[in-house]
Structure 1
Amino acid sequence: MTDHLAEAAPAGISSNAAAARSARYRAHSAVTDPGAHAELLRGVGAGFDALHRTVELLVDHYRATPGGVGAEQFDDIDRRWVASQLDALVERQPGPLDAPRAPEARLGGCCRDHSVLAVAILREHGVPARTRLGFAGYFAPGYHHDHVVGERWDDPTGRWVRFDPELDPAEYPFAVDDLPRGDAAGFRTAAEAWQAYRAGLTDLADHGVGPDTPYAGPAFVHGYLIADLAHRQRCEVLLWDGWGAMAAPGDELSAAQLELADLLAELTVAADAGDEGAEARLDELWSSDPRVRPERYVETWSPTGRIGRTDLECRTTEWRTEG
């Protein structure tokens, strides 16, 4: 793939900085590394239609699939590593990833897994890509569901193109492969949602897992703001991991937590707009601040009912409570 960054980088991003950013996200993270299954990822096309078709064939959403998922698929939701996900998929049905599959041959997962698999495919094809956490206003009127989407770097235009691999283009009145920005009814990053809250535009009661759950509000969005930084830094944690300054849903946020969230939101929004100084500051916080970086261990509160401590280096979880 030929880079066009020198002539296409947007204002505020030097060609050298854009090239470095591109290279950084072209490489696999520990999470998206397919291990022995790289050839399977290379067998899937890198265009949006191929990504959408493939991830929809591979992953059934553990909450949204009509009738639910099987017991084995339900346990899949804690398979954070793409190599582990591919191990299970190959064991259940060898062959190309974009071939039709019976439900029992698929993975149980969620939006995070659709997007992480899409990003893994793109990176295997040499396309810089990353996952982003936020809230989608296009699933249910009046509610912003927690959601994970992908971004791919587009060399000719020198920008990140945001896409939702779960969405069928024929079913939505907007470009699902180039999601519109700044629309409250579309996808908001956690940083954008936080800034809307601090500006008094929302109380965030309608930003969460769903109106039928207690997982919503400022403390919930606060956690997603930190987790979005992790995903931006190529540490694609599960949505139910916790560490550092994260609050439990429903907690009253301290002054220090509010100050940190305000800083992260400001820097993330600025970095998304092309501010390399903000990008560098996010890198600095990630490398030095244990409030935002999980280091080796995270606490994992799985929807299966299990609670444990995950060792990100050894790729193991010690479950203290079984579901």
Structure 2
Amino acid sequence: MTEIARFYRRPSVTSDLGRHRGQLPGLPADPEALSAIVRGLLIHDYTAKVQGLRFSAERMSQKETVGAEAILDNVIGIDDAPLDRERPVEQRMFGFCYHFALLHCALLRATGTPARIRCGFAGYFSAQLWIDHWVVEYWNGSRWILTDPQTGRSNLTDHDFRDGVTAWNLCRDGASQSDAYGNGELWGWDELRGSLINDVAALNKVEVAGWYWCDRLQVKPVDQPHDELDKSLDVLAGLAAAVESVEEIRKCFDRYPELKPPADAVAR
């Protein structure tokens, strides 16, 4: 685990804080304390809707932001207080679960904790359904711990969250029903395929959201099985589920270049 821990302790291009590294002194190293700081900087688009908050078109466009450095550009551009100062909800960056997870992961790596974000499905938003979601996994010295910086839930179990690799394998094996996985609008195999390739990318520290860029997944109908494509994804998911080294993680990612996010992929 030493090799893998070192790999996930180093920032990726997307999780590098860049010009904001000077904000780190004074921040706690405790993972859950950093999670609470993230919740004080961001507001989820659904939360804003439920609370009846109104944001300008410019502020709402921040939902398209990719990268921890750019997230903090937005945060500090709204309110330049120290990062550990909780902002009023109206003064937080407008985003979604991906932004909470990426910023938390970036802060963990920057303060010395190996971490990675996972794309998958949460089971705690709607009974008997698995909702598209991003969380964080960090290494505590002996095991990986799943935590949700958006909601504050920690020590997540497989009853709480299924990463994209696990969800795919469960559905393909018939142990779970594909139509229980979605995002409120889209359900089934398209969601499972997209979360799988995003999860494998994130395991390789290529942290983007959305799979609109991936022509290979544009089969019709998208919510139904597709024999040729899904057999390739079975191989990908099988490899990803068995990785035990950084080399294996990279080989898994490199096997299907057409499923790798391009350099200009952004959050959608």
Same fold (TM over 0.5): yes
Give the 3 Å change call, closer, same or farther, for CA 68–259 of structure 1 in structure 2: farther
Unmatched 5+ stretches in structure 2: none
Q: Within 1, Cα distance between the matches of 2:61 and 2:82?
A: 23
Q: Within 2, Cα distance between the matches of 1:69 and 1:236?
A: 29
Q: Within 2, Cα distance between the matches of 1:209 and 1:121?
A: 27
Mapping for residues 22-171 of structure 1, pairs under 5 Å: 22-65=5-48, 66=50, 67-71=52-56, 72-155=58-141, 157=142, 159-168=143-152
* Counterpart residue number, 1:188: 162
Deviations 1:39-82 (A, max 9, x none): 22443323243123211111111123322551233111111021
How many aligned positions are there? 264
Higher relative strand content? 1
Q: List structure 1 runs of 4+ shifted beyond 6 angstroms.
A: none
Give the 3 Å change call, closer, same or farther, for CA 139–253 of structure 1 in structure 2: same
Aligned residue for 2:166, secondary structure, equals helix
* Counterpart residue number, 1:293: 260
Paired AA for residue 113 in structure 1? H
Q: Within 1, Cα distance between the matches of 2:127 and 2:176?
A: 15
Unmatched 5+ stretches in structure 1: 1-17, 169-175, 303-323
Give the 3 Å change call, closer, same or farther, for CA 194–287 of structure 1 in structure 2: closer
Q: Within 1, Cα distance between the matches of 2:151 and 2:264?
A: 33
Q: Greater CA radius of gyration, 1 or 2?
A: 1
8 Å Cα contact 1:62-1:69 kept in structure 2: no
Q: Within 1, Cα distance between the matches of 2:114 and 2:92?
A: 26
Q: Within 2, Cα distance between the matches of 1:69 and 1:124?
A: 33
Question: Per chain length, whose mean CA-contact separation is higher, i.e. which structure has more relative contact order (CA < 8 Å, sep 6+)?
Answer: 2
Deviations 1:234-254 (A, max 9, x none): 011023543253336852443
Q: CA deviation at 1:227?
A: 0.8
What is the TM-score normalised by the length of structure 1? Answer: 0.75
Paired AA for residue 232 in structure 2? L
Q: Within 2, Cα distance between the matches of 1:47 and 1:257?
A: 42
8 Å Cα contact 1:133-1:228 kept in structure 2: yes
What is the TM-score normalised by the length of structure 2? Answer: 0.89
Aligned residue for 1:36, secondary structure, equals helix
* Counterpart residue number, 2:175: 201
Aligned residue for 1:135, secondary structure, equals strand
Out of 53-62 and 96-105, give the one that drifted further. 96-105
Higher relative helix content? 2
Paired AA for residue 85 in structure 1? I
Paired AA for residue 140 in structure 1? S
Mapping for residues 168-247 of structure 1, pairs under 5 Å: 168=152, 176-181=153-158, 183=159, 186-210=160-184, 213=185, 215-239=186-210, 241-243=212-214, 245-247=216-218
Paired AA for residue 207 in structure 2? E
Q: RMSD of the TM alignment (CA)?
A: 2.2
* Counterpart residue number, 2:228: 256
Q: CA deviation at 1:93?
A: 1.0
Give the 3 Å change call, closer, same or farther, for CA 167–281 of structure 1 in structure 2: same
Deviations 1:216-264 (A, max 9, x none): 1012211110111111110110235432533368524432211122112
Q: CA deviation at 1:188?
A: 0.7
Q: Within 2, Cα distance between the matches of 1:164 and 1:39?
A: 25
Q: Within 2, Cα distance between the matches of 1:103 and 1:147?
A: 21
Aligned residue for 1:64, secondary structure, equals helix
Q: CA deviation at 1:166?
A: 2.1
